[in-house]
Amino acid sequence: MHSLSGWRAPRRALMLAATLATAGCGRLEYVSLQPLDDAGFSYTSEKQIEQLDPTKQEVAEVVKAVKGGLSESACVDLVRIARGQKRHFAEGEAVAALHAAGISDTTILELARLRQIPAWSGEAQAIRLTGTSEPVILAVARRRAEGQIAPSGASLARMKDAGVSAETIIALVDRGITDTDAESISYRKKHGWKDEQILKDFPPKP
């Protein structure tokens, strides 16, 4: 259990009471937090979610996230980040997929701050199969967030599989390589090129 037996009564009262949220049509509706209790949330975490005035759909998305393996604190932070971005949290399934691919809660939260969760959830399979490092993922995510060119998850996986180091991949990402560049880099690495030679052949793009 997440809470002491003495907390049970106030915790149940919190669940049976409902949190007030504003519906899209401007009316007010009561949103039950019972699904969070059913998912094993602690009283403290439930209270933090309640204070964020979640919608019914947000509660459902949080349940998806925590059942997917994210910590309660990360789930609360995801809703907080969404509030800071003036939107509702809607990426429960996506963050669960990233967690399943081995991405840490810390990196998932940073991807959320960069508004890059949807893009990366679609590339979770490539990440899982090759173990692309989180610093590489964040380097690409930051470029995408700024509207700059960056290679796809499949291209990152291809370079890693060819033997290019994470440090070199990050340097190449910062230099603005494309998917076509990544394919060429992978080919060269497989044919004996050293990382230093690759970096010299792919200088920063203007």
The 3-state secondary structure of 169-180 reads HHHHHHCCCCHH
Q: Would you say 155 and 185 are in contact if contact means Cβ atoms under 8 Å apart?
A: no
pTM of the model as a whole: 0.82
Q: Which helix (H) or strand (E) holds 113?
A: helix 105-113
Provide the token pair at 168. Answer: 């070199």
DSSP SS3 for 28? strand
Residue 9's SS3 state is: helix
Res 196: pLDDT: 97
pLDDT category of residue 171 using cuts at 50, 70 and 90: very high
pLDDT in tens, 5-61: 444 444 544 444 444 444 444 555 678 999 999 999 999 999 999 999 999 999 999
Which has the closest alpha carbon to 61: 24, 26, 96?
96
pLDDT digit string, tens, across residues 97-153:
999 989 999 999 999 999 999 888 888 777 777 788 899 999 999 999 999 999 998
User: 36: helix, coil or strand?
Assistant: helix
Q: Reduce the DSSP state of residue 30 to 3 states and report it.
A: strand
Q: CA 4, CA 9: separation in Å to the nearest integer?
A: 10
Closest Cα to residue 158, out of 177, 199, 130? 130
Segments making up each domain of the chain, as ranges:
1-122, 131-206
Maximum pairwise Cα distance, the chain: 67
State the pLDDT at residue 31. Answer: 86
Strand-pairing partners, residue 30, are 20
